[in-house]
Amino acid sequence: MGNWNILALEFDQLGRDPRPDEEIAEGIAKESPLWLRISNLFQRHLSVLRHLPPGQLILWKLEHWGDSTPFDRIPMSPDAHPASYTKELLNLGHLVHPYTFTQRNRKLLHQDIPLLRELDFGIVPIAQKEPVEDASHESLRASLNLDAGDTLLGAGGMLHPAKGIDEIAVWFLRNIQDPKTHLLCCVIPDEPGVTEEIVRRRWEQAAGVDSSHRIHVHIGAYRQWEWMCSFYRALDVMLVNSVSDSWGRMLSEAVGLGVPTLARRAECATNDIFPDLVLVHDFESLSREEFRALADAARERAPGLARYANTHYATPVVEKSYLEMLRAWTPPDRLAEFDRLAQQPHSRRLVRGMIDR
């Protein structure tokens, strides 16, 4: 019988911990997780794992940008060599089991890291977050001084070329002249010091216009879920222009909340996670007439896509798949402990935190 205290601990929670690696490893040992989750190719994960006794059960979350982009394929690990990292990880003596979010991710990761083909490799999607009940459609639109008959388009994500927000803003300024149509951009800066004024001037210069008053900019950060619920609910149409996503939360969250959504055609997860999604070849060359037709199609498909999201990606569904994956990989002599820990409220809360990011 083991002496594990919790079912699973996520190392990412400790990623910026200022303590020495040995001290972090000691803290993990005191937490005594049956499973420890690491992500991608972070060098610090390897460094800490060197200080843990061999035999730790490791769940390895791997992401892949897709192959429509010249940008780094495995995010947040730009300095790592995938094959060397994997070889060293597997040589530490831990019991490592990788997983990702989609079939495409797994296929591309197998191509990039052949060693992964020798391992059991699971697939579990990211769960839909629970809607915030008091997130208001009206209050956000009112804060933007929109009338009831105004149309609000939305875009969001990291302010990085692979996410395509610049392209949407410039397309809007050049092509959408209707004074009753507005664009709300929720942007996460990709470098320090980015302000709304800097972003706005950049878009105006690129579009060759003097004013961008019908574009509204929210400089945000990750995990603003309450605000994001209001954001999605305020929109008439969501525009997703990313060509590099391992999942695509701005897509899945909007679709799950019933927002008519147009997505860029790309060889990445945003094109994989929903059947019959309305796809756009690119926004830069999209005419006003083409946009209207595509938006009408997105409105027709929105209810069915929302049902799909909340059938396949609802938290209880994903949590069940996640726990089944962990249990299948738990050695027989630890299964009794797995089943005991899986019933603990604290352990289940930690698992739910893992499946929505």
Q: What is the pLDDT of residue 131?
A: 86
What six digits make up the tokens of 260?
């008519």
pLDDT confidence of residue 221: 76
Q: Whose CA is closest to 72, among 356, 268, 282?
A: 268
pLDDT of residue 192: 83
Torsion from C-alpha of 186, 174, 167, 152, nearest 10 degrees = 30
Q: Which ranges constitute the DSSP H helices of the chain?
A: 21-31, 43-49, 82-90, 103-112, 137-143, 165-175, 196-207, 225-234, 249-256, 288-312, 315-329, 335-341, 345-355
pTM summary value: 0.92
Widest CA span of the chain, in angstroms? 71
Per-residue pLDDT tens digits for 200-215: 999 999 999 999 999 9
Q: Which residues pair with 188 in a beta bridge?
A: 158
Backbone angles phi, psi at 189, to 5 degrees: -60, 145
Report the chain (357 residues): mean pLDDT per 10 consecutive residues: 85 74 93 95 92 96 83 62 94 97 94 93 95 80 92 93 94 95 92 89 95 92 83 96 92 96 95 96 93 98 97 96 98 97 95 89
Spatial separation of the C-alpha atoms in residues 52 and 170, rounded to whole Å: 51
User: Which pair of structure tokens corresponds to residue 65?
Assistant: 């940008």
Q: What is the pLDDT of residue 1?
A: 41
Residue 322: CB atoms within 10 Å: 21
Nearest of 295, 284, 193, 189 to residue 241 by alpha carbon: 284
Give the DSSP letter of residue 211.
Answer: -
How many Cβ atoms are within 10 Å of 148's Cβ, its own excluded? Answer: 6
pLDDT score for 356: 84
CA distances, 150 to each of 147, 153, 156, 357 (Å): 5, 10, 20, 33
Judged on CB neighbours under 10 Å (0-12, 13-18, 19+), 67 is middle
Backbone angles phi, psi at 262, to 5 degrees: -110, 135
Taking CA atoms, 255 is separated from 117, 151, 232, 238, 310, in Å, by: 33, 18, 9, 9, 9
Beta bridge partners of residue 157, listed in sequence order: 187
Q: Residue 70's pLDDT is what?
A: 64
